[in-house]
Structure 1
Amino acid sequence: MKASTKAALISALVFPGLGHLVLRKGKRGLLFIVPAALAVFYLLRSVLQLVDQLMEEVNRGTLPLDPALILERVNAAGGDNFATNLASLVCIVCWVGAIADAIWLGRRNAK
């Protein structure tokens, strides 16, 4: 398997920027790893805060254990805001960019 293909697959299937480590371009890989990791941590923190809040309401008895009502509460929580949309966009851009860059670097190094 060519190095560019291997690097692109690692960046696509594991985490953006990790494929650059296969190509021995660690500093360049950090340009994808760091923003993607920060965005993933922000999204994960937001989701966990919402889950904690909903679990607290269920435990207190103020929110019945009904999937339809919980889904309504999740939709009403306002998770669709600028910060979460930006974090999602950063994840997508880093993922696609890391794949494309790994392919490009692998092909350039092969010449």
Structure 2
Amino acid sequence: MKPSVKAALWSALVFPGLGHIVALRRPLRGCLFLLPTALGWVYLLGGLLPLVNRLAEQVANGSLAPDPDLLAQRVGEAGMGGAGPGLALLVCTLCWVASVADSFVARAAPRP
């Protein structure tokens, strides 16, 4: 299998940029895709996980009705319904797609 195909599979199925690092031996180029994606996920998960846990606890103990509209309203009130999460998700998606596409055109680094 060609290194570019291996790189595209690593980047598509595992994490963007890993194909450049593992298969193409281009760590700096891989970090251009890996770091923004990782930061986007940290932002999303860092804000969403505590909120989801708090809302799930409130639904479980009966202090909050399991109404989707009410839950969406609470997410919006917590600041996770604005442009920030949407932008982070857009960055993650663009880096993922660009990493796979770039894997096909990038060449493996020459072995020393």
Q: TM-score, normalised by structure 2?
A: 0.82
SS in 1 for 2:107: helix
Determine the C-alpha separation between the residues in 2 that align with 1:10 and 1:106.
15
Determine the C-alpha separation between the residues in 1 that align with 2:95 and 2:35.
9
Offset at 1:60? 4.6
Offset at 1:47? 1.9
> Are positions 1:32 and 2:37 aligned together?
no
Structure 2 unpaired stretches of 5+: none
Determine the C-alpha separation between the residues in 1 that align with 2:38 and 2:24.
20
Task: In structure 1, give the amino acid aligned to 2:19.
Answer: G
Equivalent in the alignment of 1:54: 55
Structure 1 residue ranges (4+ consecutive) displaced by more than 3 angstroms after TM superposition: none
Task: In structure 2, give the amino acid aligned to 1:73.
Answer: L
Query: How many residues matched?
Result: 105
Q: Give 1 or 2: higher helix fraction.
A: 1
Offset at 1:56? 3.5
Q: TM-score, normalised by structure 1?
A: 0.83
Pairwise mapping of residues 70-89 of structure 1 onto structure 2 (< 5 A)?
71-76=68-73, 77-78=75-76, 79-89=80-90
Equivalent in the alignment of 2:9: 9
Structure 1 unpaired stretches of 5+: none
SS in 1 for 2:15: coil
SS in 2 for 1:106: coil
Offset at 1:59? 4.7
CA deviations 1:56-82 (Å, max 9, x no partner) are 323553114x4xx1x223321213311
SS in 2 for 1:49: helix
Task: In structure 1, give the amino acid aligned to 2:9.
Answer: L
Determine the C-alpha separation between the residues in 2 that align with 1:11 and 1:82.
26
